Amino acid sequence: MMDPIYGRIAANKRRTFFLFFLYAVLFALIGYFIGIYIGDIVVGIILAGLVFIVLFLISIYSGQNVVTRMAGAKEVSKQQEPYLYNTVEALSIAAGKPMPKIYIIETEVPNAFAAGRNPQNSIIAVTRGLMNRLNRQELEGVIAHEMAHINNYDVLLATVAIVLAGTIVFVSVIARRMMFFGGLGRGGRRSGQGQLIMIIVLIIVAILAPIFAQLLKFAISRQREYMADATAANFTGYPEGLASALEKITNQQVKDSPIENKALEGLYIVNPSLGARSGNRASVLFSTHPPAEERVKRLRAM
Amino acid sequence: MESTHVLLAVLVVIVLTIIFSYNRLVAMRNMADKAYSNIDTLLQKRFDLVPNLVNTVKGYMEHERELLEAITRARTEWLNASTIQENAGADQTAERALKSLFAVSENYPDLKANQNFMMLQEELVGIENKIAYARQRYNRTVMAINTAVQKFPTNLIARLFKFETREYFAVESERARSAPEINMQGGEDK
């Protein structure tokens, strides 16, 4: 039981490192083209390098703050939410890990996620709807699933991937702007070099979008969810709690959900955009999560 | 020449195994100690709340004097406990008495509406849950230690450095089995 988890933790750290490496290469490339654009390649690469270092530090040390802000979650204390606090504390004891910070998202759609860089610096966020709809055993199952993600270092990889993926969107927006205004400022050489750069920028933007999508998939694999479900069942010793919670949560995802967000959807225990495309076969194929029925079936077979 | 190399290699393997096993045993022992102190802290927290609970409930539950006495008795039992088994026994007495109390409290609407009681109930049910998980964690670490201490070749290293098998946090099975099954309503309807 111990060994697959340790393998998992090592794999997650390796993947996080690889993700940073990939981004470093990407930024060097972007810096190179910006360098050509402003006429000095070294300056371009140094600029991109600085931006990368800042992003690196933010995603590692402040990733959970970025994610909770994106999700609209607010931190709560024990006095405000004793029931939730007690439940999270119980599961942190079961996992033998420090107590994570607790956040609440004020929406009636039930869902939950975890973020952070390691078990000492992590958060668990749940929606108000989750607390209102689940009984104690079910809530324990969900919190145990999130504790499992924290325990397995899934949160590190997911948090970093979300912050970095978010910046890629930002960069591609800037690149598109440059395409529009790039031609105006420069004088004589516009027709030659300017044209070339526009084409290159276009290519980069075209390449970036699928990479962005792929990275999120890479970070949030289906195997990971099964693994977290299994670990959660091990923590609580009661798989039925999580199974029944998954059924409830899945049935109550709504169209145009207030927590729907492309960058964050893989983080939640159940994909929030499920309500928008139920019945669509492709959604199962391209989903970041395994279908809930399959997860429930596996939990009940334990 | 050849044989000294082989001997050296065997020696290195043996020394590495000893170091590795020793460190693993130490890590497991620390884990079990931490898990046990977790249980201890939680039991302390629970029994600290008992006098407050008894005072709050006393006025409402004239007919349940026995139940309140059982809870107080569990606290005394715990205060006098020194071995793991005595601690586990007190824990079980308290758990049963509190469960009965919260089940019976359903019949006292005035008590159910009492702010202080509601707070105490949430806190005590929460602690109950945490104790259950702390117990589970402790017993799992004990199982890991006992397996390591008994299995070859770690048993040799364990004997050499005086690592011993540990006691589970549990009462003797006959008493545990005779525990009455009480349905608790408190946490269900949340």
Q: Which residues of A touch B124 (CB under 8 A)?
A: none
User: A48-54: long-range contacts (C-beta < 8 A, 24 or more apart)?
Assistant: A51/A27, A52/A23, A52/A24, A52/A27
Predicted local distance difference test score (pLDDT) of residue A171: 65
Distance CA B81, CA A82 (A): 30
- Please name the residue of chain B whose CA is at the shortest distance from the CA of residue A131: B190
Which helix (H) or strand (E) segment holds residue A118: the answer is strand A112-118
Low-confidence ranges of chain A (pLDDT < 70): 1-5, 169-195, 197-198, 201-202, 204-221, 262, 274-289
Predicted local distance difference test score (pLDDT) of residue A166: 72
Give the distance from CA A286 to its chain's centroid: 16
Domain annotation for chain A: domains and CATH numbers? 2-66+165-206 (no CATH), 71-155+221-300 (3.30.2010.10)
Tell me which residue in B126, B137, B188 faces A94 most closely, judged by beta carbons: B137
Whether A146 is a known active-site residue: answer yes
Predicted local distance difference test score (pLDDT) of residue A218: 60
Predicted local distance difference test score (pLDDT) of residue A172: 65
Burial class of residue A90 in the structure, from the number of CB atoms within 10 Å of its CB (0-12 exposed, 13-18 middle, 19+ buried): buried
Annotated active-site residue in A146, A225, A260, A265: A146
Q: What is the pLDDT of residues B49-64, one digit of tens each?
A: 999 999 888 888 877 8
Domain annotation for chain B: domains and CATH numbers? 2-177 (1.20.1440.20)
Q: Which residues of A touch B116 (CB under 8 A)?
A: none
- pTM, two decimals, is 0.80
Q: Which residues of A touch B127 (CB under 8 A)?
A: 86
Which of A86, A137, A231, A238 has the highest number of chain B CBs within 10 A, making it the mutation to test binding with B? Answer: A86
Q: What is the pLDDT of residues A213-238, one digit of tens each?
A: 566 656 566 778 888 999 999 999 99
Cβ of B187 and A136 within 8 Å? yes
Residues 6 or more apart whose Cβ sits within 8 Å of residue B29: B145, B163
Predicted local distance difference test score (pLDDT) of residue B8: 94
- Please name the residue of chain A whose CA is at the shortest distance from the CA of residue B41: A93
Distance CA A134, CA A95 (A): 21
Give the distance from CA A60 to its chain's centroid: 13
